[in-house]
Amino acid sequence: MNRPCLILFGPPGSGKGTQAKFLRDTLQIAHISTGDMLRERVSAGDELGREVAGIMKSGGLVPDETVYHLVVDRIERPDCANGFLLDGFPRTVKQARLLSELLDVQGISPLVIFLKVDYNVIIARLSGRRLCPTCGAVYNLSSSAPEEAKVCDLDGTRLVSRDDDRPGVVLDRLKAYERETAPVLDFFRSVNYPIFEVDGTSRPPVEIAREIRILIEKKYGSVPVSVSKA
């Protein structure tokens, strides 16, 4: 089997993180989320974190080189040996070009899943997103609310909202997506990456994950199923 590389592509709030967690938990491949990596650095308060905090809070994009170096280092870690799933990267044509050079060198052929979601649905979803700051579990007040209001089902921590989920910032993130990220699809076409559009608007996450799983199996053959979390 070729080493799988799944690129989960789509606007903010389209469900990339939700799908990545489903797939990571059933397939033995690593989950690489540039948003999560950057938020960890912001929480740690190190130099990189201090540099990017303001950009992220305002819904802008972090410089290409900064994100690319994080991804390169992450792909070299042993848990990526069986394949990996990119969530939130690449997000500009320059990042996509750098990634394609890296994948060419490593002989990796990626699969692009484009999660299509109506922007009005996205705006509603992001206003209802809540996170557990302890374990990272993601909830939604309308589609997947915690059993007890405002508290994580798994560890009882009080849930929080993301700084960039404020309505004005969500609009800026969608504009950044249109301006910088949507053109990446044309780049993928120009290098003949297979792109599968998946309807992420009106179906539960588990159903979407099932469809993506079938697409992965078609491209890479039967993928190993993990009984424990990756």
Interface with ligand AP5 by CB under 6 A: which residues? Answer: 10, 12-18, 34-35, 38, 55-56, 59-62, 67, 88-89, 91, 95, 125, 129, 138, 140, 143-144, 164, 173, 200, 203-205, 208
CB of 114 to ligand AP5, least distance (A): 12
User: In terms of DSSP bridges, do strands 129-131 and 138-140 run parallel, antiparallel, or are they unpaired?
Assistant: antiparallel
Can you tell me whether residue 204 is helix, strand or coil?
Answer: coil
Cβ closest to ligand AP5, residue 24 vs residue 129: 129
Catalytic residue among 39, 41, 129, 130: 129
Sequence-ordered list of residues with C-beta below 8 angstroms from that of 95, at least 6 positions apart, any chain: 64, 67, 68, 89, 184
**16 part of the active site:** yes
**218 part of the active site:** no
Cβ closest to ligand AP5, residue 47 vs residue 222: 47
**50 part of the active site:** no
**179 part of the active site:** no
Cβ closest to ligand AP5, residue 95 vs residue 100: 95
Can you tell me whether residue 169 is helix, strand or coil?
Answer: helix
Residue type, 45: G
Strand 195-199: give its sheet, edge to edge. Answer: 30-33, 84-87, 5-9, 111-116, 195-199
CB of 76 to ligand AP5, least distance (A): 18
Helical segments of 58-115, H only:
64-75, 93-106
**116 part of the active site:** no
CB of 203 to ligand AP5, least distance (A): 6
Q: How many residues does the chain have?
A: 230
Catalytically active residues are 16, 91, 129, 162, 173
